[in-house]
């Protein structure tokens, strides 16, 4: 194995890429072998360093992919909302309520139905609830942590756009089941590769740029005549690539070889 030509990754997301050595994630540096520590120290870029190491490498001045900003925002809906608001990026009206006193004011700001989410760490459509009445609201606010409340948009699909370091590498519709409001493939949504609007892709690429998210799956919706973003996902699925006949690992290998990431 010619280590000089290989890229270094910690997480196993690129485990099947021929141009990548995946070292694994160890929070104690002493658990790595000496040659692995030398690779980490000498590599210009560390791929998929995890949230634990991303800010450490950023402090050292070492580039990572995804970058530090992506790790800070992609798994935190509350920070995403604040960022979208500050950058004037269209997204569903959202408000966060902390503690029982603030939660008691939810109905002052929202009318049924609306959406409640677990704001940190949730994925694959889990932790997302359509709240249609007081009983469902009471059940939701019993969950630990802040209440993340969002207006309900009557849409049956969104557009997942995957952007890697400014390059739109794939886009596809996620169409919800007839009895389901969530558009996650893991929740039964179907994927469509037809009639992908170029202006929606450009919208997503611009969001990724101004938010400094360099490996992200952005969920884009069209409502009331304009595009908006539902959320940004770092750990996006690969089913959309598979259905389009795209080999994700081959794609990444080619981008590595061409210096695009």
pLDDT tens-digit map of 136-167: 999 999 987 899 999 999 999 999 999 999 99
Fold of 93-151: Dna Ligase; domain 1 (3.30.1490)
Average pLDDT, the chain: 93
Question: Where in the chain are all domains bearing CATH 3.30.1490.20?
Answer: 93-151
Query: Tell me, what's the pLDDT at 137?
Result: 97
Query: Tell me, what's the pLDDT at 186?
Result: 79
CA-wise closest residue to 213 among 35, 71, 86, 105: 71
Confidence of residue 4 (pLDDT cuts 50, 70, 90): low
3-state secondary structure at position 74: coil
Half-sphere exposure in the Cβ direction for 126 (13 Å, CA):
6
Instruction: Report pLDDT digits (tens) over 222-244.
Output: 999 999 999 999 889 899 999 99
3-state secondary structure at position 239: helix
Q: What is the pTM of this model?
A: 0.93
Query: Tell me, what's the pLDDT at 178?
Result: 87
Query: Tell me, what's the pLDDT at 122?
Result: 58
Query: Tell me, what's the pLDDT at 127?
Result: 86
Query: Tell me, what's the pLDDT at 125?
Result: 52
**Distance, CA of 169 to CA of 201 (rounded, Å):** 10
**Distance, CA of 74 to CA of 65 (rounded, Å):** 13
Question: Where in the chain are all domains bearing CATH 3.30.470.20?
Answer: 154-257
Confidence of residue 121 (pLDDT cuts 50, 70, 90): low
Whether the per-residue pLDDT at 203 is higher than 60: the answer is yes
Whether the per-residue pLDDT at 124 is higher than 70: the answer is no
Superfamily name and number for 154-257 = ATP-grasp fold, B domain (3.30.470.20)
Confidence of residue 94 (pLDDT cuts 50, 70, 90): very high
Name all contacts of 49-52 with Cβ < 8 Å and 24+ positions apart: 49/10, 49/11, 50/10, 50/11, 50/25, 51/75, 52/25, 52/27
β-strand pairing of 7-9 with 45-47 = parallel
User: For 28-46, what is the mean pLDDT?
Assistant: 95
Q: What are phi and psi of 74, to 5 degrees?
A: -70, -25
3-state secondary structure at position 29: helix
Question: Dihedral (C-alpha) 124, 129, 130, 134: value to the nearest 10 degrees?
Answer: 180
Q: What are phi and psi of 142, to 5 degrees?
A: -75, -15
């Amino acid at each position: 194995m010619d280590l000089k030509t290989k890229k270094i990754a910690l997480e196993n997301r690129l485990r099947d890429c021929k141009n990548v050595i995946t070292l694994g994630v160890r929070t104690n540096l002493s658990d790595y072998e000496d040659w692995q520590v030398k690779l980490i120290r000498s590599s210009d870029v560390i791929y998929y360093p995890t949230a634990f190491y991303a800010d450490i490498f950023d402090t050292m001045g070492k580039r990572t992919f995804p970058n530090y900003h992506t790790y800070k925002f992609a798994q935190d809906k509350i920070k995403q909302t604040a960022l979208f608001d500050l950058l004037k990026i269209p997204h569903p009206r959202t408000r966060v309520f902390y503690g029982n006193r603030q939660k008691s004011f939810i109905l002052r700001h929202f009318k049924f139905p609306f959406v409640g989410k677990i704001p940190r760490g949730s994925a694959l459509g889990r932790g997302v609830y359509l709240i249609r009445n007081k009983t469902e609201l009471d059940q939701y606010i019993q969950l630990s942590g802040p209440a993340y409340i969002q207006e309900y948009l009557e849409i049956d699909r969104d557009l997942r756009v995957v952007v890697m370091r400014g390059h739109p590498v794939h886009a596809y519709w996620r169409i919800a089941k007839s009895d389901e409001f969530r558009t996650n493939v893991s929740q039964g949504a179907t994927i469509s590769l037809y009639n992908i609007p170029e202006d929606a892709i450009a919208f997503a690429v611009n969001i990724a740029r101004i938010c400094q998210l360099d490996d992200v799956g952005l969920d884009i919706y069209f409502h009331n005549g304009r595009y908006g973003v539902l959320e940004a996902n770092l750990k996006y699925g690969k089913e959309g690539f598979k259905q389009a006949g795209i080999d994700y690992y081959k794609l990444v290998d080619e981008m590595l070889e061409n210096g695009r990431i």
